[in-house]
Structures are given as C-alpha cells and as structure tokens.
Amino acid sequence: MEDDKIVLCAASAYERKYYLNPEFQSLPEKIQKELQILCVLYTEDVGGVIAFVFDEAGNLSIDISHEDNDLRFDEIGSGLKIKEMQQKNVELFQALEVFFRVFFLGQEV
C-alpha cells in the first residue's frame, strides 16, 4: 500500500485472516461485521487479497492483489465480484467516506 492511503480493512486467502484497522473500532458493530463478510466472501470466492483503503481526499477504493503463482485466483471473477460489491453497497461505501472525512480529515458534513 502507498503511504498516502489508510487501510480500513483487508482479508487474505493465503493467510486466511481478516484485519480491521484498530483506528476504525468506533464504527458500529453492524458495519464492522458487514465489511468482514464482504472481505472474507471475496477471498473465499476468488482468492488473493482484498483491502478497502482511503486516499488522502477520503475516497474509498478497493485494492486487489494476488501472488504471481496463484493459479486459483480468478481475475475475471474478481472484476465481476468487485463491480457487484460496489453496486450493492453504494450507500455503505458513501457512508464510510463521510465517516472518514468527518472523523479523520476533520471536514464538515
């Protein structure tokens, strides 16, 4: 990850682990669980590593990576899964951006 990005959460199919940045523990538990489900389901379905990250302007993006020798990783499935995730969770992602801009960047709503 680049230095100017802040990881919200991530999951790895290789380590079979989920990570939530401790700075975001103040998010409601329901949202934390929803993020965990999104990340874990993605890695179970397609493999690789998924990370939800904020840039310096407070925009949320989804970063995907995989090991070069990972024959299980499905690039086409990955693209489709990400698009589906973005379409189904527009409100969640917008709310997370507002949360980040207010509580981390100090912007007013």
Per-residue pLDDT of 38-83, as tens digits, reads 999 999 999 999 999 999 999 999 999 999 999 889 899 999 999 9
| Three-class DSSP category at 41 | helix
108 pLDDT exceeds 70?
A: yes
Select from 15, 18, 17, 13 the least CA-distant residue to 74. 13
CB 81 within 8 A of CB 42: yes
Compute the average pLDDT of residues 13-26. 97
Tell me how far apart the alpha carbons of residues 54 and 24 are, in angstroms, rounded to a whole number: 12
The C-alpha angle 44, 1, 40, rounded to 5 degrees, equals 15
pLDDT at 48: 96
pTM for the whole structure = 0.93
∠ CA(41), CA(47), CA(48), 5° rounding?
115
